[in-house]
Chains A and B, each alone.
Chain A
Amino acid sequence: MTARTEAEVVTDTSRLRAMLSSAGLQLLNYALILLLALGVGALAIAASGKDPVAAYQALLRGAFGSVRALANTLDRSTVMILAGLAAVLAFSTSVRNLGIEGQLYMGAFIAAWVGFGIDGLPSLLHIVLAFVASAIAGAAWGLVPILLRTRWDVDEIVTSLMFNYIATFFTAYLVAFPFKSDTTILPGTDPINATAKLPRFIRGSPLSVGFPMALVLVVVVYWFLFRTKQGYELRMVGMNPRFAAYAGLPVKRSALLGMLLSGAMAGVGGASLILGFFGRFITQFSLGYGWDGIVISLLAKNNPIAVIPAAIFYAGLANGSLEMQSATQVPTMLVSTVKGVIMFIVTAQVFLRHLARRSPR
């Protein structure tokens, strides 16, 4: 970067602004990603001999086509919002937490345990207790990787990844032996007590208070990141650790906090599924929601508010794919391919941002 004149700055600033910060362009950005990804999907469907138009119509129907469908989608988006928030919290401080899936599992299990293990509590207290316990469990699961990093410079990418597998196997063990339940054929725990169940809005649909709770948490996370001291520290450390150290900000402590909050949020995400939709812990409950959360945070550019539409979109894809399969026999796995394409496109978006950053200087 070198010295510039006043005039240059003014023109560049307005040019930059016109280029990047116009809301219209952001929307165009998302529309483009969507179009491209769905386009690739359409090709894949056509290649397998089915009709893409009918398939996508079914997809839309299943996602948003009726009150029932919308309710299902919003409910499914709960865990995705929470996983997205978890990713935002970690990535804002440059902690590469790839262990969100595992933290989700641990939170889910603890929630189930609190759910069926405790009797006679008033409903509100029971639910709150379950969530708090799951947050602690999730945070604890992220503790080892971040401590290893701050103490001995062990790369948290691989360690947090390993803890995913440790979590899935450990909970599988717990469910197969100590917590084995006679009430179900699937490997799972006992069902949670009625007092721990999240109240539902519409009879017959799984949409529970989990969804508004997730929305509240979005606001909380936004407030935390942009309106509190610790949030400010977290973000500054993430944006430029050298500046942070020079200004006297607590670099290691921020990384630790970011990871713990991320793990806690992931735990709450897992709990929301157990206390809501499933009503018990079963071993294969997560369809990769942790990974969805990471991509959602990338799509949202680490902005908590933007996590909501991205999560609802992903949830719509997931729900719609079931309808799509039953109506047109296009397998639900198509959606995973579409998600993969989205991911690839998002990484190219990083390039565009790079380009925009470099040009005015």
Chain B
Amino acid sequence: MSIVDTLGRLITVELLSSSLRMTTPVLYATLGGIFSSEAGVLNVGLEGLMIIGAFFGVVGSVALGSAWGGLLVAILACLILSLAFAAVHLEWGADEMIVGLALNIFGYGLTTYLLVVMYDVSGYYSSEAIAGFQPLHIPGVEKLPLIGSILGGQFALVYLGFLAVFATWFVLYRTPWGFWLRSAGESPEAAETVGINLKLMKYSGVLIGGILCAVGGAFLSLAHLNLFSEEMTAGRGFLALAAVNFGDRKPLKCLAASLIFGFADALAIRLQRFGLPSQLVLMLPYIATVVVLTLSAIQRLAAQRARMSVRG
């Protein structure tokens, strides 16, 4: 079979469609990471926040009987934890990496424990009581040529995700508040000179990050799957970190990175049907991350060198 044929069999509409869906959790976490990083706080605890979001999304969904209710509860839980994270770092001066790790360990531990305590199961919890998100069928979209079948029938949060990218860009680059946030992260001295409250900006960045991670996490457990399983985020929070790094905190570039990861995720599942061992294929997103980070670092060094030589 020729390469074109193989590619044709591989890259189906279904693959691209599920790529979009699998990009979404990472995308939200990435956007969350952008806000936090732009404020000057590197949050390696995105993973922990996502798993909390995933779990409490399910909790809320069962308790309130709707997926959007679950989303609300997830956001609340993540807000509380983000506040704790920010406080320990900003008020008590703890190293942001260690606190971020603590967030991850705590998130994993708490959700695993509560899984057993609240639902009397271990490993995973799946039930009729979990109200999941329903796919949205926007009339015009599905009729579009070529991309219609890929874009159509996605969950609302998928569409909102792309809107969120635009919103992130808009807030950061077209509103005064965005300038203040970015100046607090990039040049705290300059920000202070003009009277911007650094701490307030950093808290804001971290809290918004928490909210977005909550959305990403809740999407994971409530869209398409309708269950919560231990450690289901599987490192997506770290992939988000890599995406923020690769895209240099610019929303559009980070979106590109997230799409790559989502595609790799979906590809991994598809390749399994081809008989390729799932384990090998599931390594793809993580290997891609290392490659992507390396290329981005090399490019950054080259740009720096170019700038220095021009001035000399």
Contacts and interface: CB of A to CB of B under 8 A. Distances in A.
Interface stretch (A119-127, A209-217, A267-275, A331-339): A331-339
Interface stretch (B14-22, B70-78, B184-192, B289-297): B289-297
A339 B106 CA distance: 7
Contacts of B309: none
B289 A162 contact: yes
Interface stretch (B4-12, B60-68, B165-173, B279-287): B279-287
Interface stretch (B24-32, B111-119, B174-182, B199-207): B111-119
B298 A294 contact: no
10 contacts: A152-B294, A154-B294, A161-B235, A162-B238, A165-B234, A166-B283, A333-B113, A336-B112, A346-B102, A351-B88
B110 interface: yes
Contacts of A163: 286, 290
Interface stretch (B91-99, B142-150, B210-218): B91-99
A344 B97 contact: no
Contacts of A173: 277, 279-280, 283
A245 interface: no
Contact of B287 (A158, A166, A333, A340): A166
A295 B115 CA distance: 24
B112 A294 contact: no
Interface SS majority for chain B:
helix
B238 A336 contact: no
A12 B235 CA distance: 47
Nearest to B108: A336
A228 interface: no
Given A166-B286, A177-B277, A350 B301 contact: no
Contacts of B105: 291, 295, 336, 339-340, 343
Contacts of A177: 277
**Which of A161, A291, A335, A348 gathers the greatest number of chain B CB atoms within 10 Å?**
A161
B245 interface: yes
B208 interface: no
B112 A148 contact: no
Contacts of B286: 162-163, 165-166, 169
Interface of A: 44, 48, 96, 98, 144, 148, 152-155, 157-159, 161-166, 169-170, 172-173, 176-177, 291, 294-295, 298, 331, 333-341, 343-344, 346-348, 350-351, 354
B101 interface: yes
B241 interface: yes
**Which of B94, B115, B301 gathers the greatest number of chain A CB atoms within 10 Å?**
B94
Interface residues of B, number: 45
A170 B116 contact: no
Contacts of B282: 169
B44 interface: yes
Contacts of A338: 109
B279 A169 contact: yes
A44 B286 CA distance: 35
A161 B94 contact: no
B44 to A, nearest CB: 7
Contacts of A96: 97
Interface string B269-284: 0000000010110110
B220 interface: no
Contacts of A341: 106
A204 B116 CA distance: 31
The 10 A-B residue pairs with the shortest CB-CB distance, nearest first, are A340-B106, A336-B109, A173-B279, A333-B113, A351-B92, A331-B116, A343-B102, A340-B109, A172-B279, A347-B94
B127 interface: no
A339 to B, nearest CB: 6
Contact of A158 (B101, B110, B289, B298): B289
Contacts of A294: 101
Contacts of B235: 161-162, 164-165
Given A44-B113, A96-B97, 8 more contacts: A152-B294, A157-B44, A294-B101, A298-B98, A333-B117, A336-B113, A347-B102, A350-B95
A346 B238 CA distance: 22
B289 A333 contact: no
**Which of A291, A347, A350 gathers the greatest number of chain B CB atoms within 10 Å?**
A347
